[in-house]
Each structure stands twice: as structure tokens, then as C-alpha cells.
Amino acid sequence: MPKKHITLILSILTAFGIIASQFSGYNLAYLSGESIEAKVLKIYDGDTATLSHNGNTLKVRLYGIDAPELKQKFGVESRNNLKKLCPIQSNIQLQIKDKDKYGRIVGILKCNNQDANAMQVAQGYAWAYKEYSLAYIHLELKAKLESKGLWSEENPIKPSLYRKQTSQYKQWATAHIPPEDLE
């Protein structure tokens, strides 16, 4: 292949890479294990936040924890606690661990030099997500023993079970209850 063709192909591939990186946002830019400084833009719930870094908007799922859904008991309290730990517009450190199936960065938020993920579990506002990490199990056990947050309930429902039950109920209701009776 002539040298001119190789140069042309390399130029096209380089241009394609630059264009693709503009459309993919953080997907190509951030690597597992990397630690970055970011600003908190929004706290969705007790384990999901939106951050800003170098002009990019990053949707982040907190690593190793599973917080109650907003419509679930302690869901709003969990979100409010994370807002207190990591106030909107505050500068934080994000330790990137992975990317989830929804394309969100999975990471550890360090707010005011504290591991916010750990604090959510320690204060009883999230479960240790044992399926993904064993890092916070001891904090969950301590919160449970001290009846903190959601552990003040006799049998709190894990978010994964709540999501499953809610989904199954919606499927059943759609099939068995007339739409006008669902309102």
C-alpha cells in the first residue's frame, strides 16, 4: 500500500476518534481507578448523583451501596442525607471504579474528605451492596445493631426486592385491573 494511502487512512481514523470522543462524553475520557475533582450538580436519590468535570456532565452511581428508592420508606431521607454530605455546587473527589449497564460511572464520592458511600451505610441510609463489594458490610452491621436510619424499622425492604415487587405488581395490575381503576 502506498505511503500516501496509509497517511490518509491514519488521518481519517484520527479525525474519527476526535469526533467520536465529542459525542461520547465521559465514556472514553475516564478510566477505572482514576480519581478526579468534580462539582456536585444534582443528587437524584441516596446512591445517584450528577457531577460536572471539565465541562462534562457525569451521572454517577455510588459504588458498593444500594439506597432505598425515592418512593420507598427512607428513600427521601436517604437522598437528603447524601445532599447534606455532598451539598449541591460543592467540590468533591470522585474515585472511579467502573461503569454500569446504564452507562453511568460507578464510583466513590469523597465529600469534605469523607467517603460519602461509607457514610450513607454507616448512618443507616443505604445497604452495603454485597453483590458488588464487601467494603461496607461492617458499617451496615454496626448501623443495624444501633438501629440507625432504615434499621429503626423491624424489617426494612432491600431496594432490589422493592424494585422487583413494584415491577411485578405493575405487570399484574396492568393485566388484571381496568386502567380507570388504577388511578
DSSP 8-state code for residue 47: T
* Catalytic-role residue among 34, 37, 61, 153: 61
* Catalytic-role residue among 104, 146, 180, 183: 104
- Pinpoint the alpha helices (H) of 86-153: 116-122, 137-145
Query: Closest by alpha carbon to 62, among 129, 15, 134, 4?
Result: 129
Phi-psi region of 106 (alpha: psi -120 to 50; beta: other; left: phi over 0): beta
What is the Cα–Cα distance from 24 to 60, expressed in whole angstroms? 15
* Catalytic-role residue among 34, 37, 69, 183: 69
Contact in structure between 131 and 65 (CB atoms under 8 Å)? no
Q: Across the chain, which distance is largest between two alpha carbons, in Å? A: 75
Question: Does the annotation mark 61 as catalytic?
Answer: yes
Question: Does the annotation mark 104 as catalytic?
Answer: yes
Query: Closest by alpha carbon to 37, among 58, 14, 65, 20?
Result: 58
Question: Does the annotation mark 79 as catalytic?
Answer: no
Catalytic residues: 61, 69, 104
